[in-house]
Amino acid sequence: MLVLIVLILVIGLLIFVHEFGHFITAKRAGCRIEEFGFGFPPRIAGIKKGETVYSINLIPLGGFVKIYGEEGEASDDEQSFASKSIGRRAFILVSGVAMNLVLAIFLFSLGAYIGLPEVVEETGAEAKDIKVHILDIAKESPAKEAGLQIGDIILKVNDQKVKNYEDVKKYVAATAGEKVMLVIERGGQAFEKEARFRPVPPEGEGPLGVDLIQTGIVRYPPLEAVWVGLKSTFLITAGIFLIIYDILKELFVSGGVSVQVAGPVGIAVMTGAAVKMGISYLIQFVAVLSVNLAIINILPFPALDGGRILFLGIEKIRGKKISPAFENAVHTFGFVLLIILMLAITFKDISRSKEIFASILSKVELF
């Protein structure tokens, strides 16, 4: 129940921030806002305040701000979206993306101030709550046979507390070839697993057959936290664009995509994991989701903000407006494709037997 409530709040926040960007810039431009909706029609409930209906709709895949004249009508009415200059219309369209990036910067900055998990140096001198996580597990390894999982935290080896990488290295050297008792933390619960450190592991694998990563909670002073927020948002944005490039390249070269894409079910799974790990992890996760939403919306695909901006660019080049009927038909077709894609991803999420893990990580140790 807690995960469901958090998921609703997270999705609601992301939608609200994005659509509020459109709403406030359209208002300032003198446009009339007909509806501010959560989800897509049909409408479940709504209340009218002033000239705007605030609604909750049945299809929970986003939200919208319906601006008078956005379909090209009433171009001679100063309250119509269609009456505004290309630059003003583009600014209104891009403002939702901008607000999601602003939210990400704020959340990353807040997290850096209160303390966010980071990959830390081996000593972990500047970090608190040092933990050694399992990043990857080799097939047919002692770790696999022992039932260890990606994301597990190694707390102890034979009653010896693990504080950092060096502890694990020391315990591996002392017990090579022997059975050991590992105390593992998973989902906030600690339990024991018996495994054997191989004296002569296969090439490219360690005695246990896992890749480990050391994390800790690092806190920054206010001004430095803002810089961390800006830098984190930039790096995540760049990383996601690179992933999109790789996906498109793979799609055109091989005709398939090996990268796992998460839909609503996958996001729910990851939200649950973030909730269990604590507020710092949840803040970081929501910030990454906000960047994702911004990038998806700026892509030049029909029905998305980027697709509408693309049409404005074509209008600018042509020197005259595109037929509203044609543009609306293209955006409607794009919206249908997006719904089909979302349903397909959701089905794949449900059919998957394991949870989705996605991380940008570095400083990996092999054991």
| Same domain flag for 48 and 59 | yes
Assess whether 19 carries a catalytic annotation. yes
CA torsion, ordered 203, 206, 210, 215, to nearest 10 deg: -120
Closest Cα partner for 274 from 357, 217, 162? 357
Residue 161 lies in a domain: yes
Band of the pLDDT at 264, cuts 50, 70, 90?
A: low
Q: pLDDT value at position 254?
A: 67
Tens of pLDDT, residue by residue over 38-80, are: 888 889 999 999 899 999 998 877 889 999 998 888 888 999 9
The residue from 201, 218, 235 where one domain ends is 218
CATH number at residue 123: 2.30.42.10
Helix (H) or strand (E) holding 109: helix 86-114
Question: Alpha-carbon distance 131 to 164, whole Å?
Answer: 7
| Same domain flag for 19 and 48 | yes
Residue 142 lies in a domain: yes
Residue 224 lies in a domain: no
| Same domain flag for 275 and 184 | no
SS3 84: coil
| Same domain flag for 56 and 198 | no
Tens of pLDDT, residue by residue over 171-188, are: 877 777 778 888 988 877
Residue 300 lies in a domain: yes
Residue 241 lies in a domain: no
Chain CA centroid to CA 5, Å: 18
Query: Hey, which residues does 366 pair with through a beta bridge?
Result: 211
Q: pLDDT value at position 79?
A: 93
Tens of pLDDT, residue by residue over 336-348, are: 887 777 666 556 5
Catalytic residue among 19, 35, 70, 205: 19
Residue 54 lies in a domain: yes
Closest Cα partner for 290 from 7, 14, 12, 13? 14
Closest Cα partner for 23 from 86, 66, 76? 66
| Owning domain of residue 259 | 2-115+248-351
Average predicted confidence (pLDDT) for the chain: 81
Chain CA centroid to CA 184, Å: 27
- When pLDDT is averaged across residues 268-289 and rounded to a whole number, the result is 75
Q: pLDDT value at position 8?
A: 82
The residue from 180, 201, 218 where one domain ends is 218
Band of the pLDDT at 365, cuts 50, 70, 90?
A: very low
| Same domain flag for 255 and 106 | yes
How many domains does one find in the chain? Answer: 2
Look at 305 and 254; give whichever has higher pLDDT: 305
